[in-house]
Chain A
Amino acid sequence: MEVGNYLYLAMILFAIGATTVMLRRSAIIAFMGVELMLNAANLAFVTFARIHGDLSGQVIAFFVMVVAAAEVVVGLAIIVAIFRTRKSASVDDVNLLKG
């Protein structure tokens, strides 16, 4: 088997992730699609690191995980904030526009 097969896998996963973001209307699932895209990129990094015999690809993947974690924190906080807003039926434009 060629090492390049891992790259095809990464590209396919990336495309599936992108499709998820474009198709799913639920914010959480769309966001999971973004995570899948990041993971696919990580797989590409790891594979390229192996091809080039160079560890920096793995270090980059490591950084990407940190960045993804930070992104998830902020993204889920935004989603939860919106959810709390929507849940309360008392949302009233007149109230909103005060003060």
Chain B
Amino acid sequence: MMTSTGEAVLFWVLAPAMVLGALGLVFARKAVYAALSMIFVMVCLAMVYVMQQAEFLGIVQVVVYTGAVMMLFVFVLMLVGVDASTSAVETIKGQRWIGILMGVGLGTLLVTVTARAALPETVGLDEANSETNPAGLARVLMSDFVLDLEIVATLLVTAALAALVLTHRRRLTPKIGQPERAAARMLAGDHPVNLPAPGVYARHNAMDVPALDPEGNPIEASVSRVLRIRGQEHSLDTDVTTLVATRDAAELTGDHGTDTAAERGGQNDDTDAATTEGEA
């Protein structure tokens, strides 16, 4: 049966494009290009299906193949890293030319076989599709292929289970959240809250001057551990009022900004150190 002219035009537009797209799979340097040309071929196939009175299949082709399968491919390509190649694995050994030769041979063989076969006169699907294509498909699906429908369901279960086995990592260590961290810190006998900030009455650089408790005694822990170990902390040998006076003077001359910044920096340092200690 000869097809309509419109179909012929569309075929001759789509078919060469599809072959070129498919060849992209063989020759594309980058995997993403290969995936894109594959998607192109599949979208064209969907059009071909619709052209051949398989409307439902054309839509499923777009949804399942381009929408799900190829997206999965692209997703994995991105996951694996676009530049990474899995080719270190010796999958199939073979010379380039032998491969091309075999491919061309296979193509020639298949085309020759098709050409030599005298196909029966094309019936067309007008009658089978008389009640819309999906309805016709449903009749066949639910009568002749019920069993296949059932076993294909087990195939999907298998696939899901298999993918899960290969990728799902069960948590083996207990999950550590904020409550667990806090509890661990208490158990270790650590300071319950942040350590006090140093240098309440700063003289020069407040970071190295310990804070004072309400009774006016210096709190050792308020100075960063690092400074203490290095021996760079300043003891509170001066009278408190002097300190205050110095601080006011410093404020007037505009040193204040640096001081506070330093204070804050010191405080942060200390908190970090405390956290690290708690974890350790």
The reply to whether A and B meet directly (CB within 8 Å) is yes
- Which of the 9-residue segments B88-96, B183-191, B212-220, B246-254 touches chain A? B88-96
Our pick among A17, A30, A65 for the contact of B22 (Cβ within 8 Å) is A17
Enumerate chain A residues within 8 angstroms of B86, measured Cβ to Cβ: 26-28, 79, 82-83, 86
Residue on B with the closest CB to A33?
B25
Q: Known: A16-B25, A35-B38, A62-B137. Contact between A80 and B52, CB under 8 A? A: no
A-B pairs with beta carbons under 8 Å apart, 10 shown = A5-B15, A6-B11, A18-B106, A22-B103, A23-B96, A30-B91, A35-B38, A36-B22, A46-B57, A80-B167
Near A by CB (< 8 A), chain B positions 62-79 give 64-65, 68-69, 72-73, 76-77, 79
The reply to whether the CB of B48 lies closer than 8 angstroms to some CB of chain A is: yes
A31 to B91, CA, bound (A): 11
On chain A, the residues within 8 Å of B79 by CB distance are 80, 83
Contact A76 B73 (CB under 8 A): yes
A38 to B159, CA, bound (A): 18
Q: How large is the interface on A (under 10, 10 to 19, 20 to 34, 35 or more residues)?
A: 35 or more
Contact of B73 (CB < 8 Å), options: A16, A51, A72, A81? A72
- Over the window 1-40 of chain A, the binary record of Cβ atoms lying under 8 Å from chain B Cβ atoms (1 yes, 0 no) is 1111111110111111111111111111111110110010
Any A CB within 8 A of the CB of B1: yes
Could you say which of A35, A61, A76 contacts B76, with CB atoms under 8 Å apart? Answer: A76
List the interface of chain A (C-beta within 8 A of B): 1-9, 11-33, 35-36, 39, 42-43, 46-47, 49-56, 58-59, 61-63, 65-74, 76-83, 86-87
| A30 and B85 alpha carbons, distance in the complex (Å) | 12
Chain B, 84-135, CB within 8 A of any chain A CB:
84-89, 91-92, 94, 96, 98-100, 102-104, 106-108, 110-111, 114-115, 119-120, 122-125, 127-129, 133
Given A36-B25, A62-B137, list of 10 further CB < 8 A pairs?
A2-B3, A9-B48, A15-B110, A22-B92, A28-B77, A43-B48, A56-B145, A68-B69, A77-B167, A83-B79
- A interface, over-half SS: helix
A69 and B158 alpha carbons, distance in the complex (Å): 12
For A66, list chain B residues within 8 Å (CB): 64, 152, 155-156
Q: How large is the interface on B (under 10, 10 to 19, 20 to 34, 35 or more residues)?
A: 35 or more
Residues in A with CB closer than 8 Å to B152 are 63, 66-67
Residues of B within 8 A of A17 (CB): 22, 25
User: Which positions 1-60 of chain B face chain A at CB distance < 8 Å?
Assistant: 1-3, 7-8, 11-12, 15, 18-19, 22-23, 25-26, 28, 31, 34-35, 38, 41-42, 45, 48-49, 52-54, 56-57, 60
Closest A-B pairs by Cβ, 4 of them:
A53-B123, A19-B103, A15-B107, A70-B159
Q: Are B111 and A11 in contact (CB under 8 A)?
A: yes
Closest to A25 in B: B87
> Is the CB–CB distance between B72 and A72 below 8 Å?
yes
B120 proximity list for chain A (CB < 8 A): 51-52
Contact B114 A4 (CB under 8 A): yes
Contact yes or no, B85 A26, CB < 8 A? yes
Contacts of B42 in A (CB 8 A): 39
Q: In angstroms, how far is the closest chain A Cβ from the Cβ of B19?
A: 6
Q: Is the CB of B25 within 8 A of A29?
A: yes
Contact B166 A78, beta carbon cutoff 8 Å:
yes
A28 and B69 contact, Cβ closer than 8 Å, known pairs A16-B19, A46-B49, A58-B57: no
Q: Does B221 lie at the interface of the complex (its beta carbon under 8 Å from any beta carbon of A)?
A: no
A9 neighbours in B (Cβ, 8 Å) = 15, 18-19, 48
A82 surroundings in chain B (CB, below 8 A): 86, 89
